[in-house]
Chains A and B, each alone.
Chain A
Amino acid sequence: MLFRASVRELLRHPLRTGLAVLGVAVSAAMLVDMLMLGGGITTSFRELLLGKGYAIRVTPRGTLPLDTDATLEGADSLRRAMAADPGVAGVAPVLAVRLTAAGTSALALGVDPDEQGVYRLTGGREPASGEAVVGPGLARDGDLAPGDSLVLVAPAALGTAAAGRRTFRVSGTADFVYASREERSVAVSIADLRGLSGRPDRASFLMVRAAPGRDADAVARALSRDFPGVAVASASELVERAGRRLSYFRQLAVILGTVSLFVAALLVGTIMAVSIGERAGIVAALRAVGISRRSLVAALAAESLVLTAAAGVLGLGLGLVVAGRLESILAGFPGLPSAVRFFVLRPGPLLVGYGALLLAGTLAAVVPAWRAASGSIALALHREEP
């Protein structure tokens, strides 16, 4: 009954109600977007790091994967030693070298095709010696498909002899997990890339899979202790570091999310204050016939709740549309892996946000409702007299 009465009252003023719902919906949309942005990038980055089960990264000390040209010396023996650890299920070496492929600048990754976590094949097969797997950007720009030839020129050969130049056969196409949208990527066997670039026994980083049932953080700590000459970081640590670098977005999300909630409450409070003020006579009459103050406040708060709930649902839809647009803007960040998302829909925070919105909207009506229900009945009825 309370619900029906609330809806009826709201429908009596379609223009006012429509504008209020729209206003709260826009604020709710902003709140939804900020909730998605708040933890979106770390969630997305974590999924990216753990995508193929490699939860630990080993890099030269003081660096992060693909952050510098620094490389690990004696990478093969380091790999073997780490693979012998009982907490480790597999170790994938990666050597990254920027070179020229099909006449354009590209990032070449040297991998062990049997143990790698940097790309997912989309066509063809894994590269054998003398073969390469190309990413979508390079395949498009170089008009490459499995079976084609691809010339790679390593930096050492630029402007000098042809020592760093080699022709590969394209064995497959792949999506490169850490490649940015604009990046052109190619993967060959690590032995081939070492030979081509003159980096024997080097790797840019190692990707380590923890053994089933073992905690990756604990394995990372153990490896860090056993191999003090290198930096060992678990996915959690890397996510935390990435989060620190992108803390601006988290802070922005908190500030704008709070402001959105405040604006929504302010709008609902204003609408309800005016609406209740208009019905001061009715409220007084109801009190005069014995309706309790608490029931009246509950009825008016329910009206506000209905308004906020409807606007919240509309705001969710609006927020998802806007998030898509904002995501497309932020996707332009240079060097950002294309799989990373800034706006990630997470049911938990969304439910909390919706609850906070309902609470704010309902509480915003309580103060004017209580004031109306607490005033002098005689005075209110007198004012209503024509």
Chain B
Amino acid sequence: MGKTITEKIFETHQRDVPSGNNVVLDIDVVMCHEITTPIAINDLQERGMDRVFDPAKIKVVIDHVTPSKDSKTATQAKILRDWARRQNIKDFFDVGANGVCHALFPEKGFIRPGYTVIMGDSHTCTHGAFGAFAAGIGTTDLEVGILKGVCSFRLPETMKINIVGELSPGVYAKDVILKIIKELTVNGATDKVMEFCGPVVEAMSMESRMTLCNMAIEAGATCGVCPPDRVTAEYLWPFIQDEYDSIEAAVEDFKKWHSDVDASYVGEITLDVSDLAPQVTYGFKPDEVKDIMELEGSSVDQIYMGSCTNGRIEDLRAGAEILKGRKIADNVRAILSPATPKIYNQALEEGLIKIYMDAGFCVTNPTCGACLGMSNGVLASGEVCASTTNRNFNGRMGKGGMVHLMSPYSAAAAAVKGCITDPRNV
């Protein structure tokens, strides 16, 4: 019988099979940020195990709260920084060069088809967009990953998500994934890999595929994955041109990371997106999703554009389409955090930053920022934010605050109207 992408990756990375249900994998990339890693570093030090398995396979960034906002976050940054230096980790991104991990690391070419990737961060599933197996893990897994370059997983089954039809104007990857989460519910894909395929995915940019895979965890999935193809090869070309004679050769080679036609899936859903309207969440769970028209006029206080879900250049472009020549409404404040310095620069060159600033946005440095309510952009109790992020949990952006998740296009429309609105009419 044929195999899925994930089964192929598991097979080629298998170090041990400690039980019929569990596999210990060799890990290609261990990624670290300053929130979950310092406590692992401290623990390893206390145990006399202050080592790393391979400094070249460890990628480090300070991104959640940066530049540091207080002594505690400064200490976290310092622990990470000192460790990266001590362990000779070259790929370390500090203030000035840093950005949101799941936007920055792909941009640097660190993720390739067929890779195994772990990070102490649940949205690590984003990197499955490259045809990798990428999973969020906790601190103990991170410690073992850092020390030994291995991680254990239960054998995940794969759910096939076939996306067909054609997206209409004003509807984006974010709307597609919100709709899928609504159908699957918040634990509909637990212990499963969500394999996104079909013509809509094939037509998507790497940025859009990352948006899809980013939110796989919100349906409980271990990872999202997209078959690597020409779009993947073109994105990675600057980093792989010494390895392949041509993009065609890379595309051919990437096919070894495609699921076989007779691979077995634990479930298959087909979503025709032709009539899909922009989507928005209304409650405190990411599966509480409605067509945006149903929330027309619902009030907001803050707009947030950014994060590992939607802080990339195409997201900034989508928002700017609406914001160009317009002002944000009097009753709202709006924040943009481009996800990486490269994106920030590109947005400057394309004149997007000016559009946002002229509209009345505050533009911050690249950081997770308001997404998790740990640094800037925190909501007061009772306040509501229209946000391009991925989590609307109670208190996520500040105690007592509420978040409506939506696409950058819809968030820009909310900024202009001062309330939730169908962006197609703005």
Asked whether A and B interact, the reply is no
State the B residues within 8 Å of A (CB): none
